Structure 1
Amino acid sequence: MNEQNSKRSGTNVLSRLLHVRHPKAKQAVITAIDLLGNAVINAAESGSPFPLKRRDQLLDYILTLMGRDDEDGFADYNDLLRTQALAISACTTLVSVEPKLTVETRNHVMKATLGFFAIPNDPVDVVNPLIDNLITLLCAILLSGGEDGRSRAELLMLILRQIDQFVCSPIEYQRKRGCLAVHEMLLKFRMICVSGYCALGCHGSCAHNKQIDRTLFRNFSKLPSAFVLPSREALCLGDRVIMYLPRCADPNSEVRKVSAQIIDLLFSISLSLPRPAGSSISPEVIELSYSALSSLEDVIAILRNDTSIDPSEVFNRIVSSLCILLTKEEMVATLHGCSVAICDKIKQSAEGAIQAVVEFVTKRGGELTEIDISRTTQSLISAVVHATDKHLRVETLGAISSLAENTSSKTVFDEVLATAGRDTITKDISRLRGGWPMQDAFYAFSQHMVLSVLFLEHVISVLSQIPILKADVDRVEDSPVDSHTEDGKLQAAIFALTAFFRGGGKVGKRAVEQNYASVLSELTLQLGSCHGLTYSGQHEPLRNLLTAFQAFCECVGDLEMGKILARDGELSGNERWISLIGDIAGCISIKRPKEDI
């Protein structure tokens, strides 16, 4: 009974301390709690441990005290920041006390503190220590959390993803803080993987380490290292690389340097981890990986000692190393996540991401499956759609062209046409701000020295496989979804041809001339199909096709055929239709007597 009264009394005393208003009083309370936590840690070190049963409650008190209340009387912003810095430091102490934090408490602490990464830089002498304390807190959460290598890797990924918003922030000091936090956490994580850890932050061998190591590995002594250490897959290297790679092209030199160190740490850790049982990696591949890592470390050494080195040269060397270090699965994950990197709020970093994607698909594109190519194309299309900068849109379209050139062009073209088809059904493409991105893609393909012929042939092939829409009696039982899909595919292909004829320039014109017969034949067949649709009240497909046909005539220089289409193209009636085809045939026989249609 006395013990219960004592506990209740202690709780009441603590709760009354929450009502202090003056900044010095708040700081005193927080410092007292911090000292209590340190006393528990020191007692454990000396072999006389005792529990801190109200640890989670004390954490909650600290988080309450560091908040700003409208009535707390804070007149000095600096005092508030100092209180918050002390509070974060005290949180670090309590987090390091056994038992481990529950998931709920951990998330509560992170939610209450991560926002400090966004506070303004000034006053520097107060803010910098606060940020340092925050990074130390996150490291403590990592070091004291998890049960084995796998769970710690999961916790690491959880925290890193929480920091991502600051790593890719448009505000320079937030990016710098985010990168510094990631770097410190990876250093601590590597320490766990290599030699265990000390909750007090000691490196290498120490008295605390031995005690904690025994506790840590007691339950895993009979398990293989794969259970104690994380797997390479747990590091999510593909996702992490595409998050930090744009920072390697950041305008800020410190951010560039730290982000390069982050990538180096990720692969340094991954190469030190045990390989999965049964995995077969040739000695040559291992040697190449270590050589690429060594090259990456050389770059970092140069960055430390020579600030005058060309940033683009450094970035190129980092990308070249990554081309070797990433496994096939990691490369695929990197490419799938490229949309966010290309849409980075810093133009210089976005350009770096595009450059990296081009390099990856040029050197490793042959390893991608059809599904990989399709998903990568979708990511690049998403980046094109969301790009607000015209130059970045053009560069991203160049990356799509590079993907088509170095992998399966058919798969890339199919994805672009499928997206265009959906757009024609769901959007008013004539009123899109900044123009229709898919039309820009058609222009890019038509002007490409290698892809122009391939794209034209692909579009003609697609058109030849589309049935006569809604005029075909065999389609009566088809679902509305299938019908809409075919409608979109037809319109996308026709718009693609129009863009090709008008925007291909000399390269596009050469491709059209090479495929004159097949293009003209398909346009004529489609003209008949679209005329059939007008009887059911569908006039839009015919108008779009006539626009494409007119563009074709302008492209090949057949003005007479263009006049005939302008005069008679939309006229209905079988006799008029037969006469139109005859007039077109007459133009061909005069203009191109040797052409075999």
Structure 2
Amino acid sequence: MQTVALSACTTLVSIEPRLPMETRNRVMKATLGFFALPTEPSNIVESLITNLIILLGAILLTSGEDGRSRAEQLLHILRQLDPYVSASAEHQRRRGCVAVHEVLVKFRNLCSGGFGASGSYPTLSLKHIDQGGPRGSSSLPSAFVLPNRDSLSLGERIMAYLPRCADTDDEVRKVAIQIIALFFNISLSLPKQKTSANDIDLESSYGALSSLEDIVSIIRRASVDQIEVFHRVVSSVCILLSKDELVVLLHSCTLAACDKVKQSADGSIQAIIVFIIRRGKDLREADVLRTTQSLLSSAIALTDKHSRQEVLNAISCLAENTNHIVVFDEVLFVAGRDICTKDITRIRGGWAIQDVFYVFSQHKVLATLFLEYILSILHKEPVATNDSEKGEINSESSADDCILQATMFALNAFLRGGGKVGKQAVEQSYPSVLSALILKLGGLHGLAELGRNELLRSLLIAFQSFCDCVGDVEMGKILARDGERTEKEKWIDLVQEVACSSSVKRPNEFSV
């Protein structure tokens, strides 16, 4: 009965007068749940799935009046299928991917056959619907009636299907690769907006598409190395994406990095790293910022240590291959927000931002850059003071406190978790690190009186970590003995004693 009902729905959306768009979408919403059916009884369920895919094709073919409106309907259908494409159940992922492929084939046939100016179809039979519909007649040039490439939202769509190319299910992998090849096959036949037309190297793009289609041909007839195939797909995609599409792909990477299939998630993260290494120069500062935000969201959402580490590697890769200051700024901002709004000691799976600090401090290239960045913040960060005679602290000062706490937390993590690379960077920057800590120590003597003990405590912890890192036991003892004193005179004596202790021990490196 349900199979008959689906066939009836297909007829309803295919005949004249056409159903309103709202009604067609209600039909689609009411029937998509069939993709979640169990696999048994297979003969009945598979018949339902087949009829449902035919219905989706019919909805696409009878929607809209021109290429652009049909492209919008295509994206609407594909986004409705996303939950099944990325489902935890293999059979749902298979059904979702097959449906996406079949709908895309219909859309490609429309693009090849041309969109009629009125969007009309002279026949209503299912036979013609399955074949993609007859070519519409129009006196308008094809560029006018075709959708443009940008209407396909390639960056978002490719990111939605790339995890499936590394799926544990063989059929899902094969169909996903065909989907990506089909998307780019369609996109290269569509006009590009003039503002970004020069962004695409057609010769390289056609070469990459040819390589991608070769992969499709190979996987159809032979068993090949899964990892090698995935790498070739990623390499082709890296060339085929325009700058804007690449940016959107990176912005929408969080769901892929947190895919329900661990193998797919890890593959997606490796793909992101490849994109950043090869195309990082194409990212503007705003793009770097949003990509950092997406990757941080991924790291925070992941509790699996290995997967989180892979995302952290992607963040360090982004910092190394783009504007590292933008990446550092965003990481520190998120750290300050977390420190001031959450109990970071109770975060499930550990505090991801601390792991980011560790990765920076252990990176051969970024360690020195990150330490210099931290020191620049400590040198220039104004110490927040009371806003009035009542000693009230304004919101701007509170925000400054959060950043300053985050900076000292970052320094402490650097000193504790940097290993050999971090220690070497600290030794090379010994005078700068010590002077920044002493200057900040000298400027914080009044914080306890203002009820801001956390800020003071954070500095003392970072200072003690510095003493441990450089092996200065005597200076550490001074801090341990007198670090909690808050009287102004005693505090000044402490700062002088710490400075003198260092100048005596390392006269050639530091002087006061």
Once the two structures are TM-superposed, the CA of residue 202 in structure 1 deviates from its matched residue by 5.1
Q: Is the 8 A contact 2:108 2:186 kept in 1?
A: yes
Aligned residue in 2 for 1:556: 470
Aligned residue in 1 for 2:181: 264
Aligned residue in 2 for 1:41: none
Q: Is the 8 A contact 2:106 2:132 kept in 1?
A: no
1:487 matched to 2:401? The reply is yes
Aligned residue in 1 for 2:163: 246
Q: Deviations over 1:104-150 (max 9, x none)?
A: 21121011100000000011111111101100100000001110000
**Letter of the structure 2 residue corresponding to residue 470 of structure 1:** T
Q: Is the 8 A contact 2:2 2:48 kept in 1?
A: yes
- Aligned pair partner of 1:191 in 88, 109, 133: 109
Once the two structures are TM-superposed, the CA of residue 535 in structure 1 deviates from its matched residue by 1.8
Once the two structures are TM-superposed, the CA of residue 477 in structure 1 deviates from its matched residue by 10
CA–CA distance in 1 between the matches of 2:81 and 2:485?
A: 64
Once the two structures are TM-superposed, the CA of residue 532 in structure 1 deviates from its matched residue by 1.6
- Aligned pair partner of 1:353 in 251, 263, 268: 268
Aligned residue in 2 for 1:157: 75
- Aligned pair partner of 2:65 in 147, 151, 155: 147
1:112 matched to 2:26? The reply is no
- Aligned pair partner of 2:216 in 294, 300, 311: 300
CA–CA distance in 2 between the matches of 1:154 and 1:321?
A: 26
- Aligned pair partner of 2:277 in 362, 372, 377: 362
CA–CA distance in 2 between the matches of 1:319 and 1:182?
A: 20
Q: SS where residue 570 of structure 1 aligns?
A: coil
Aligned residue in 1 for 2:373: 458
Pairwise CA RMSD: 2.2
Q: Is the 8 A contact 2:10 2:55 kept in 1?
A: yes
- Aligned pair partner of 2:257 in 337, 342, 350: 342
Aligned residue in 2 for 1:511: 425
CA–CA distance in 1 between the matches of 2:509 and 2:495?
A: 16
**Letter of the structure 2 residue corresponding to residue 491 of structure 1:** Q
CA–CA distance in 2 between the matches of 1:306 and 1:241?
A: 25
Aligned residue in 1 for 2:39: 121
Once the two structures are TM-superposed, the CA of residue 275 in structure 1 deviates from its matched residue by 3.3
CA–CA distance in 2 between the matches of 1:310 and 1:205?
A: 34
**Letter of the structure 2 residue corresponding to residue 230 of structure 1:** P
Q: Is the 8 A contact 1:191 1:203 kept in 2?
A: no
Once the two structures are TM-superposed, the CA of residue 596 in structure 1 deviates from its matched residue by 2.8
1:589 matched to 2:506? The reply is no
CA–CA distance in 2 between the matches of 1:93 and 1:474?
A: 78
Q: Is the 8 A contact 1:460 1:519 kept in 2?
A: yes
Q: Is the 8 A contact 1:183 1:258 kept in 2?
A: yes
Alignment of 1:232-243 (within 5 A): 232-243=149-160
Aligned residue in 1 for 2:450: 536
Once the two structures are TM-superposed, the CA of residue 580 in structure 1 deviates from its matched residue by 1.4
Aligned residue in 2 for 1:568: 482
Q: SS where residue 209 of structure 1 aligns?
A: coil
Q: Is the 8 A contact 1:150 1:227 kept in 2?
A: no
Aligned residue in 2 for 1:71: none
- Aligned pair partner of 2:327 in 412, 417, 437: 412
- Aligned pair partner of 2:53 in 126, 130, 135: 135
Q: SS where residue 95 of structure 2 aligns?
A: helix
**Letter of the structure 2 residue corresponding to residue 435 of structure 1:** G
Aligned residue in 1 for 2:118: none
Would the alpha carbon gap of residues 523 and 471 (structure 1) be closer, same or farther in structure 2, given more than 3 Å must change?
Answer: farther
CA–CA distance in 2 between the matches of 1:123 and 1:524?
A: 74
**Letter of the structure 2 residue corresponding to residue 510 of structure 1:** Q
Once the two structures are TM-superposed, the CA of residue 102 in structure 1 deviates from its matched residue by 0.4
CA–CA distance in 1 between the matches of 2:170 and 2:480?
A: 60
1:395 matched to 2:395? The reply is no
CA–CA distance in 2 between the matches of 1:349 and 1:261?
A: 17
Aligned residue in 2 for 1:440: 355
After the TM superposition, which parts of structure 1 deviate over 3 Å for at least 4 consecutive aligned residues? 196-208, 275-282, 471-479
Aligned residue in 2 for 1:209: 134
Once the two structures are TM-superposed, the CA of residue 376 in structure 1 deviates from its matched residue by 0.2
Q: Deviations over 1:571-593 (max 9, x none)?
A: 12233223212321232133212
CA–CA distance in 1 between the matches of 2:305 and 2:467?
A: 30
Q: Deviations over 1:373-415 (max 9, x none)?
A: 0000000000001002111111100000000000000000000
Q: Is the 8 A contact 1:143 1:199 kept in 2?
A: no
Aligned residue in 2 for 1:85: 3
**Letter of the structure 2 residue corresponding to residue 209 of structure 1:** P
Q: Deviations over 1:321-364 (max 9, x none)?
A: 01110000000000000011101010000001100110001000
Q: Greater Rg, structure 1 or structure 2?
A: 1
Once the two structures are TM-superposed, the CA of residue 537 in structure 1 deviates from its matched residue by 2.1
Q: Is the 8 A contact 1:459 1:496 kept in 2?
A: yes
Would the alpha carbon gap of residues 172 and 417 (structure 1) be closer, same or farther in structure 2, given more than 3 Å must change?
Answer: same
CA–CA distance in 1 between the matches of 2:324 and 2:198?
A: 31
- Aligned pair partner of 2:492 in 571, 578, 584: 578
Once the two structures are TM-superposed, the CA of residue 276 in structure 1 deviates from its matched residue by 3.4
Once the two structures are TM-superposed, the CA of residue 472 in structure 1 deviates from its matched residue by 7.7
Aligned residue in 2 for 1:176: 94
Q: Which runs of 5+ in 1 are unaligned?
A: 1-82
Aligned residue in 2 for 1:6: none
* TM-score, structure 1 as length reference: 0.81
CA–CA distance in 2 between the matches of 1:469 and 1:279?
A: 47
Q: SS where residue 272 of structure 1 aligns?
A: coil
Alignment of 1:281-296 (within 5 A): 281=198, 285-296=201-212
CA–CA distance in 1 between the matches of 2:133 and 2:455?
A: 77
Q: Which runs of 5+ in 2 are unaligned?
A: 115-120
Aligned residue in 2 for 1:430: 345
**Letter of the structure 2 residue corresponding to residue 485 of structure 1:** A
Would the alpha carbon gap of residues 304 and 570 (structure 1) be closer, same or farther in structure 2, given more than 3 Å must change?
Answer: same
Q: Deviations over 1:280-304 (max 9, x none)?
A: 538x911100000000001111111
CA–CA distance in 1 between the matches of 2:288 and 2:124?
A: 45
Aligned residue in 2 for 1:40: none
Q: Which has the higher contact order (CA 8 A, sep 6+)?
A: 2
Once the two structures are TM-superposed, the CA of residue 226 in structure 1 deviates from its matched residue by 3.3
